[in-house]
Amino acid sequence: MYSSRPPHPNLNRQSGLTDQNRPPALDPDTARALLERAREARAAAYAPYSRFPVGAALLAADGRVFTGVNVENASYGLSNCAERTAVFKAVSEGVREFAAVAVAGPDDGVECSPCGACRQVLFEFGPDMALVLASGDGVRVYTVRELLPGAFDSDRLPVQGTPV
């Protein structure tokens, strides 16, 4: 969720990123701070069936951070992942450009990589955004494009399907 508390100092600056001008890597302090926000969010996950709580923190290009958690349902197919929850919250607030997303699963020593559906949704809004994961040796940073080669994008749609 978008927090009213002041964000970490490294997450409050304006980034000015565009799809054409994204840095290849996220600065380490920002990556760690974003991952910490994902860990904090994880505490609110609703995962009574899998017992696999996940938190995500999505850094918008304007510096705001939107968090999300996985929300499960007894009808498993109706569950939603933390990454998509964060994206949908941001989009519902009018935000469309993102610099990075961090994901924290239940074990901070093991990478919790987004599922295929989350990778596709993240790709829609930022194929080159940084993807930050906790790892046994600290923090790992990828791009969404690295984890979803051959992604389905608007170039594959007929002209009438092009977003406006």
DSSP state, residue 77:
G
Distance CA 62, CA 30 (A): 14
Cα distance between the two ends of the chain: 27
Element (H, E) at 161: none
Phi/psi for 3 (5° steps) reads: -90, 145
To 5 degrees, how large is the angle CA 68–CA 73–CA 102?
20
Beta bridge partners of 55: 69, 104
Whether 83 is catalytic: yes
Q: Which of 40, 83, 93, 111 is catalytic?
A: 83
Distance CA 43, CA 164 (A): 37
Residues annotated as catalytic are 83
